[in-house]
Amino acid sequence: MAASIKKFLSATLFEYETQKVIAISSYKIGLIYRGIQMLIVTYVIGWVMLREKGYQSFDTVVSGVTTKLKGLEYTNYTNISAIGDRIWDVADWAVPPQMNSAFFVTTNVVITKNQSQTTCEEDKDNKWHASCKNDSDCTKGDVHMLGWGVKTGRCVNSSREAELRVCEIYGWCPTEQDILPLGDDKVLMTRVKNFTVLIKNSVEFPKFGIKRRNILDSMSKNYLRQCNYRPDSEVDKYCPIFKLGDIIKHGQAISQEDAKQIWITGVYTGGARKLNVTHPPAGMVAIDIHWECNFDYDEEFCKPEYKFRNLEDGQVGRGWNFRHAYHYVEDGIHKRTLVKAYGIQFFISVTGRGGKFDILNFTMNLGSGLALLTLATVLCDIIVLNIMRKRKKYRQAKIDKVGLLAALTVAYENS
C-alpha cells in the first residue's frame, strides 16, 4: 500500500514537464495548421478590427429633438353642426402643440360644442350606472367616476333613446354623444397623409467634442422649404421633412384596409388579426434616428439614418384617443368645446455611436488577437496525437519520459 502511494506521488507531484519541438512533414497536418491560422487571422482582422472597429474607442450620442408640423385640412359637412364647413390648421389638430420627442396628430374627432355648467340628462351610454326608474334610483350628490357630473336626485326621460330614463346630473352640459361624425368606417381628416413634420435633431459626442445636426450644412433654406424624405434618393434621404403617410408606409408593409383604419381611429387592425387578440393595437409609430459615425474621416460624413416602425402591442385597448377642451366666455357664461380626439402618436428615439482611432484599444485588441494564434498549435496537437492514423508514432516522438518517471513506467510495464 505504502509503496503504491509512493509510486503515485512520484508519478504526479515529483514530475516536471518541458516543451519539446517535433517537426512533422505532412501535407495534411501542414494544411490544417495553416488553415486554422488563416481562420484566426481573418477573424482578428476582418471581424475584430474592421467590422467591430477594434482599433477605435467609442462614444454614444447625447441628443435633443424638436418637431414642427404643417398641414391643412378642409371639412365641408354643413349637415353635421359640430364639424361644419371649416379649415383645420396645425393649431387645431396638433395636440398638445409640443411634446418631448413625440407628437400627436388628430385624424378623427367627436366634438361637443357649447358646454356650460348646468343640469342635463346623463349620457345614455353611461346607462349601466345612470339609468333609473324613479327619483329614488338617483341619489342626490352621487358622483360616478365614469359619469359626466353629480346626480341631482331626479330621474328624467332620455331625449336620446326612446323608453329610457336616466338620472339628471349637474356638470358640463349637454353631455357628449360618443359617435364618430362620419360613422365608424370613415375618416374625417382625409389629408393627414400629406401633412408633414420637420424633425430637428442635434447630437453631441462629448468624448470627442463633436456636435452634429440632422439639418446638414449643405442644405439651403430653399431646399428645406420644398424637400421631402425619400429613402431611395441619395440627396433626399437626409431631408428632415417627412410626410406622415410615408412614415406609416415605410414603417411596415400594411394593407390598404389596415392603413385606412389607422387614420380613422388610430387602430392598426392588421396587428390584431396577426396576434389573434380581441383588442387591436393602437396607432403608435416609432421614428428611429440612428447616427453611426467614424471620426477618422471628415465629420461631414457623419449623417443620420431614419427608420420607422409601427409599434404593435395587442394589449393596449382600442386605438388611441383622449379628450381636451377649448374654454371661452360667452355672455358672461363660462363655456367650453369638448373634443374627443382620435389619432396617431409618433415617438422619436435617437441612438448612435461615434468612433475614433485609439492606440490603446488598437494594441489591446491586436495583442489578444495574436494570442489566439496559440489555439492553432493546441488544436493541431489534439488532432495529431489523437485522431491521425500515425498517432502512436507521433505520441512516442512527442513525449519522452526520463529519470524516475521513466524507471517507474518501465517497472510498471514489466510487472
- C-beta of 224 vs 371, nearer to ligand ATP: 224
Is there a binding annotation on residue 370? no
Q: In degrees rounded to 5, what are phi and psi of residue 8?
A: -65, -45
Residues 240-269 that bind ligand ATP (CB under 6 A): 241
- Asked if 285 and 270 touch (Cβ cutoff 8 Å), the reply is no
Query: x/- site string to ligand ATP, residues 69 to 98, per CB under 6 A?
Result: xx----------------------------
Q: Report, in Å, the least distance between residue 97 CB and ligand ATP.
A: 12
- C-beta of 29 vs 90, nearer to ligand ATP: 90
- Asked if 289 and 350 touch (Cβ cutoff 8 Å), the reply is yes
Three-state secondary structure along 233-276?
CCCHHHCCEEEHHHHHHHHCCCCHHHHHHHHHHCECHHHHHHHC
Stretch that binds ligand ATP, among 48-56, 119-127, 221-229, 277-285 (CB under 6 A): 221-229
Q: Report, in Å, the least distance between residue 134 CB and ligand ATP.
A: 57
Q: Report, in Å, the least distance between residue 287 CB and ligand ATP.
A: 14
- C-beta of 100 vs 396, nearer to ligand ATP: 100
156 binds ligand ATP (CB under 6 A): no
220 binds ligand ATP (CB under 6 A): no
Give burial (CB, 10 Å; 0-12/13-18/19+) of 5.
exposed
Rounded to an integer, what distance in angstroms lies between the CA atom of residue 395 and that of residue 384?
A: 8
Residues 13-72 that bind ligand ATP (CB under 6 A): 68-70
- C-beta of 221 vs 327, nearer to ligand ATP: 221
Is there a binding annotation on residue 72? no
Rounded to an integer, what distance in angstroms lies between the CA atom of residue 319 and that of residue 361?
A: 49
Residues 167-206 that bind ligand ATP (CB under 6 A): 196-198
Rounded to an integer, what distance in angstroms lies between the CA atom of residue 256 and that of residue 306?
A: 23
Number of chain residues interacting with ligand ATP (CB under 6 A): 10
Is there a binding annotation on residue 361? no
Rounded to an integer, what distance in angstroms lies between the CA atom of residue 392 and that of residue 405?
A: 20
Taking the chain, what is the end-to-end CA distance rounded to the nearest angstrom? 16
Can you read off the three cell numbers belonging to residue 415? 510487472
Closest to 169 measured CA to CA, from 205, 217, 131: 131
Q: Report, in Å, the least distance between residue 239 CB and ligand ATP.
A: 10
Can you read off the three cell numbers belonging to residue 275? 396576434
Is there a binding annotation on residue 249? no
Rounded to a whole number, what is the largest CA-CA distance in the chain?
Answer: 121
Is there a binding annotation on residue 340? yes
384 binds ligand ATP (CB under 6 A): no
Is there a binding annotation on residue 196? yes
Is there a binding annotation on residue 68? yes
Q: Report, in Å, the least distance between residue 242 CB and ligand ATP.
A: 8
Binding site for ATP: residue ranges?
A: 68-70, 196, 321-323, 340
Binding footprint of ligand ATP on the chain (CB under 6 A): 68-70, 196-198, 221, 224-225, 241
